[in-house]
Structure 1
């Protein structure tokens, strides 16, 4: 059984779909969301980051948040989101 991790990519300005058990293929600044569907992921993205599509559209505190989330993901070999 395969599961999908939905992640907003602030480098590409789009929602990525990563399918387990494969490793995420994008090495850019993306944030995963706990979501069962693309629609839920987009709602979570809107709630957390508003209309920002790209990294430079985020305020400083949100930029740091994205960096920290990405570092956590890569240092723990991908937590289940």
Structure 2
């Protein structure tokens, strides 16, 4: 699993859990739909911390909470 795969999985899981769409998350995060779509589609391989912070705020959580999940904590990532 790559870093971007893990981030995509986390964002997708949280959207399902919180019952919000990617479009709604973009609005809540204050980032453009195209930026978020680029991440979800795997076009953005290494999102900036600033972007992750905005996404975390959209989910009403800290960056630490956003990045605290098994794939990020336990697996070794393949080079992209």
Q: Output the TM-score relative to the length of structure 1.
A: 0.31
Q: Output the TM-score relative to the length of structure 2.
A: 0.31
Structure (1 or 2) with the greater helix fraction: 2
Structure (1 or 2) with the greater strand fraction: 1
Structure possessing the higher relative contact order (Cα contacts under 8 Å, 6 or more residues apart): 2
